[in-house]
Amino acid sequence: MVEVKWTDNAIEDLNDIGEYIAKDSERYAEITVLKLFTSVDILESYPKKGFMVPEFRDESIRQLILDNYRIVYQFIENSTVVSILTIHYSTRLISNTRHFKE
């Protein structure tokens, strides 16, 4: 098993998503944020579950798709840690490197 760690940027993304959705529905915002947060639990046992992020063509940067969101993470072979890098709206390309700094 590996440990899942959230970067500061990923937590900020999660908070931003929650705040945006809460403008229309506090309850739906809570449900969405909890769903996104817990969806990465699978990575503890299956760190290669996601698939490679096409923008980077780097096997260590992978993503899970949940509803309209891409949960981007990094897993380096033989590592004991998966780092959640960003949660990104699925139709947008990832081009801002701020998402990959802890």
According to the model, what pLDDT value does residue 55 have?
Answer: 84
Q: What is the mean pLDDT of residues 59-65?
A: 94
Q: What is the mean pLDDT of residues 47-58?
A: 89
Distance of CA 70 to the CA centre of its chain: 6
According to the model, what pLDDT value does residue 95 have?
Answer: 62
Q: What band does 65 get if pLDDT is binned at 50, 70 and 90?
A: very high
pLDDT at residue 88 is higher than 70: yes
| pLDDT, averaged across the chain | 89
Q: Would you kindly state where each structural domain of the chain is located, as residue ranges?
A: 3-90
According to the model, what pLDDT value does residue 37 have?
Answer: 96
Higher pLDDT among residues 102 and 13, named by residue: 13
User: How far is Cα 29 from Cα 25, in angstroms, rounded to an integer?
Assistant: 6
Domain 3-90 bears CATH identifier 3.30.2310.20: yes
Q: What is the mean pLDDT of residues 52-81?
A: 92
